[in-house]
Amino acid sequence: MPDCRPPLASPSRPSHALPPGACDAHCHVFGPAAVFPYAEGRSYTPPDAPYEAMAALHARLGVERAVLVQANCHGADHGALLDALARSGGRYRGVALLGAHATGEEVARLHAAGVRAARFNFVPHLGGAPDPAVFDHVVKLIAPLGWHLCLHLDGAMLPGLLPRLTALPLPFVIDHMGRLKAADGLASPAMRAMLALAEVPQAWVKVSGIDRIASGRRPYAEGLPFVRALAEALPDRCLWGTDWPHPNVAGDMPDDGELVDLLFQACPDAALRRRILVDNPARLYGFEPPRER
């Protein structure tokens, strides 16, 4: 049985129109379990959130492209993700979960399907920091293909990890603004560490998960200064995503239309929004130039 809540059945339509080629750079597909079973030993069991539901959400929001992140609940079986990539007609890219048994042949197959990154979870509720030997093994496999790493971590971990990250032969992306806590303020050590990534050329940040850094109560206004500060610090290395279908949310279930409008509040400059929504993900994930409407 599912042990986390489903996304809103009818999210609002955004008040603002996204630009052509806008990308949701962090979302997931779950199941359906009858076709793509969840992994044994998983840390959570979500309700099904299949490709059809995700595609319908993106159409409602005006999102044309997306990056699907392999979820912990599916483990190393990328069946659901690969099915969604194939059905997207090239509009979606993927982020894999790879471990000690990953091979060059597997990575080549994933690359051909549209996967462009591997993700590591450092947060305790998803198993904690990876084995350094496994981390190095995956980096060695993916670097020749031009992939990058997506890192799910607590911003307080960043200073300790940064020497290793800056030595990597590939870019890395910090998911969900490093799970900052808005209550700690813009001057917190974790936020200072995130802003210092502006001086690290291979570092990128996703301004996703505003609900996770805020109090958990919509409309998450206390998260806006953090999105704004990170977008202004890393304008050419910043990405945005919904985090749909919002697994393991503790507070209010996010309304994805409101999340779009929050980005417009945080980034009122249209040129900056275009970089975050269109240009930056196109460069990192290899999307074709968008068709003008």
Active site amino acids = 243
Nearest to 54 by CA among 6, 109, 119, 113: 6
**50: cis peptide before it, omega within 30°?**
no
Contact, 26 vs 175, CB < 8 A? yes
Contact, 26 vs 68, CB < 8 A? no
Q: Enumerate residues 6+ apart whose C-beta is below 8 A from 83.
A: 29, 36, 51
Contact, 120 vs 152, CB < 8 A? yes
Nearest to 281 by CA among 52, 63, 50, 57: 63
| Dihedral, 24, 57, 121, 237 alpha carbons, nearest 10 | 10
Nearest to 233 by CA among 221, 225, 243, 241: 225
Q: Which two tokens stand for residue 256?
A: 């994805």
Contact, 241 vs 208, CB < 8 A? yes
Tell me how far apart the alpha carbons of residues 224 and 180 are, in angstroms, rounded to a whole number.
12
Contact, 13 vs 272, CB < 8 A? no
